[in-house]
Structure 1
């Protein structure tokens, strides 16, 4: 072949150009060796992230599932026998005059009040009250009170576990609190 062959000359230039663009073999990054310090740190960091992310869920699981008292049922608080059933005992009854206002706040007591178009508030805990006559407003507050009323224009309950029975009339009834009941009877 002729040394002045143009095709040979082009091939030689293309080969040199390809070799130059590839660069020397030492300049190619080979990466870290397996088991190197960087690889170990990367794996440890990945494990720590998962541990931090899963720890709250493991704690919640332990509390909800493994808690020893989760199936235990606690009985409702016992109420005194004083609040068993209100009865009309007019011998020692308090009387509220027309337009008057009386608030009774004993605990674990039985009592009778004669109401004459007045406002009566019964509060306290575990009382049994009989309300004779006609109240303009009967308010029962506190907890676990049992009240029997002859008649009232309005009955308002607040607190928890109060039971009110009215014998006559059609009162306006307002029930607030928890587990309070107002019924005719």
Structure 2
């Protein structure tokens, strides 16, 4: 019987190139201790899976505590809470609609604390419209008539005569000043000597 007729010999001949190739591959793969080669970490996939399971358990426990503590109950003061699965009844409570902001009256200007009208000098005779502003009068022997609504009036100096139509505050200092207001009941503050504030 020749080698071509023997099936086992034929199989050995066919397997020989495969075993030679495997032996050559083993020689080219570095061993675990070779320089520059680190073996793949073992158990890393298991650690990731265990971490994911632990995170899922923590999140699930948090959701359970939230639900048990009543985090999803629908309660409003004065209304009973609904049992789970119940549909809420339509609300019949009145709806509060905010009122539009009130506009200031055109007859009384809104005071602007940033604007102060200053009148100074000696022997002046003036009529000034307050228009909701603060007015400060100083100097000597001035006669001033203030019309409209003033935010506040301050008078200082000597011998000034002031007439105010309307103001919530009057402050007088200095010497011998006379302030007359025509309407309202202003808050009056005086200092100095012989200053008079009166209604007239």
TM-score range, shorter chain: 0.3 to 0.5
By percentage of residues, which structure has more strand?
A: 1
Q: Greater RCO between the two (CA within 8 Å, min separation 6)?
A: 1
Higher helix share: 1
For normalisation by structure 1, the TM-score amounts to 0.47
Which TM-score applies when normalising by structure 2? 0.43
